[in-house]
Amino acid sequence: MEWLKIFESEEKANNKVKENTTQLLIVKGKRICLARHNGQFYAVQDSCTHQGESLSKGKVNFLGEIICPLHNYRFQLDTGHACDSSCGDLLTYAVKSSDSGFFIAV
């Protein structure tokens, strides 16, 4: 696992990804959906496991789930767990903030 800086600070991350929104990141060739809910950041694979739609085009609900814009499949942001057993779970990526920047583990 490698920690890569994606923002200069948590403040810049907060400015880029507003509460209950998403942002597409491409890190080392991987499409990753960065989301913010209740002041916390979460990173999951950008591709819905149902039919591959980009989750960064989706919405975050009040339960902390990312909702696929194509067929409304829901996934828990903190675990990547599919809320409907008809599709697989998402890969998740750790994020952290420090004095030297805001990082994601790939």
Q: What is the pTM of this model?
A: 0.94
DSSP 15: H
Residue 39 lies in a domain: no
pLDDT (tens digit per residue) in 39-82: 999 999 999 999 999 999 999 999 999 999 999 999 999 999 99
Helix (H, G, I), strand (E, B) or coil at 56: helix
72 token code pair: 């409304």
Residue 37 lies in a domain: no
Q: What is the mean pLDDT of residues 30-35?
A: 98
Tell whether the model's pLDDT for residue 85 goes beyond 80. no
Domain residues for 61? 3-31+46-105
Query: What strands lie across the sheet with 40-45, from one edge to the other?
Result: 22-27, 30-37, 40-45, 92-93
Residue 13 lies in a domain: yes
